[in-house]
Amino acid sequence: MKLSLGMPKGSLEESTFALFNKAGIHITRGSRSYYPSCDDTELDLIVMRPQEIPRYIQQGIIDAGITGQDWVAENEADLVEVTELCYSKASRQKCRWVLAVPEGSPFQKAEDLKGMRIATELVGTTTRYFAKKGVNVNVEFSWGATEVKPPRLVDAIVDITETGSSLRANRLRIIETLMETCTVIVANKAAWDDDWKRDKLENLKMLLLGTLEAENYVGLKCNVEAANLEMVINILPALHNPTVSSLSDSGWHAVETILPFLETKRVIPQLKRAGASGIIEYPVSKIIA
């Protein structure tokens, strides 16, 4: 049996393949192939635009896929959200779809745009957003470079942003946020109701989340004399109590723990001053809570 899984093409493609590889699922794909192979023979992968993935999942053409919450909403797809995966092209934070207008325009809120023209890739969601507010606007599909269109071509845009830097560079200001979004694994209900496919999706969720979590942590080992052991242990911020084992040299112990990467610049000098030696920092590939 296989689980058919839609993989996102475009801005998420490289980061998604890298995440799978770090999780231990090694994917190989020719430059023109839309059907990658991987060393997990229970996965049947197909690469397609994330905008289309929810539709094909709902239709039952594929079992599940990796897409954005925004495209699930845009397609009004009734799917099972297996898990959020907070990663994107450039960061590990959620993105926002925002309503933005030229800096010098008089518009302050959505209601001020009555009768105006708005460009976006998220046409359905934007249309429903304004309709809910009772504001009649002209929403047109944008094929890209949306942020350069106001004020000459359109009055406002709805665009996705991580930091807002591109909008500011194009002299746009955000007046409202339509929605937050992040990458998700979604499945159709038939696949989720199948015990084997649900187990496969749960396993995939565990591996990918564990890999993302591990990016924030490192492992740390050191040797310490018994007289300094308590002081060293008190310095370490650990997920759980550190592992302490006796060394062959009488009166010495090995201490090992996992700690946040950002803590190492503070902790390592303190460990050295507390009498620790042979301090080793090493990467962690997965953390499964």
Range of the domain at 235: 217-283
Same domain membership, residue 65 and residue 19: yes
Same domain membership, residue 187 and residue 52: yes
DSSP string, 117-149: EEEES-HHHHHHHHHHHT---EEEE--S-GGG-
What is the reported pLDDT for 164? 86
pLDDT of 147 higher than 90: yes
**Model pLDDT for residues 198-221, shown as the tens digit of each residue:** 999 999 999 999 999 999 999 999
Nearest by Cα to 100 from 172, 178, 154, 179: 172
Same domain membership, residue 196 and residue 231: no
- Match 């989340």 to its residue by tokens: 209
For residue 101, the domain's CATH number is: 3.40.190.10
Same domain membership, residue 32 and residue 77: yes
Q: Which of 31-40, 151-160, 243-252 has the lowest mean pLDDT?
A: 31-40
What is the reported pLDDT for 177? 97
What is the reported pLDDT for 29? 82
**Model pLDDT for residues 59-96, shown as the tens digit of each residue:** 999 999 999 999 999 999 999 999 999 886 556 778 99
- Give the DSSP H/E element, type plus range, for residue 265: helix 264-273
Task: State how far the Cα of 207 lies from the Cα of 4, in Å rounded to an integer.
Answer: 17
Q: Please state, rounded to an integer, the average pLDDT across all residues of the chain.
A: 94
Same domain membership, residue 7 and residue 43: yes
Residue type, 126: T
Task: State how far the Cα of 212 lies from the Cα of 203, in Å rounded to an integer.
Answer: 14
Same domain membership, residue 58 and residue 68: yes
- Give the DSSP H/E element, type plus range, for residue 201: helix 195-214
Residue ending a domain, choose from 214, 236, 263: 214
Please state the pTM of the whole predicted model.
Answer: 0.87
What is the reported pLDDT for 89? 59
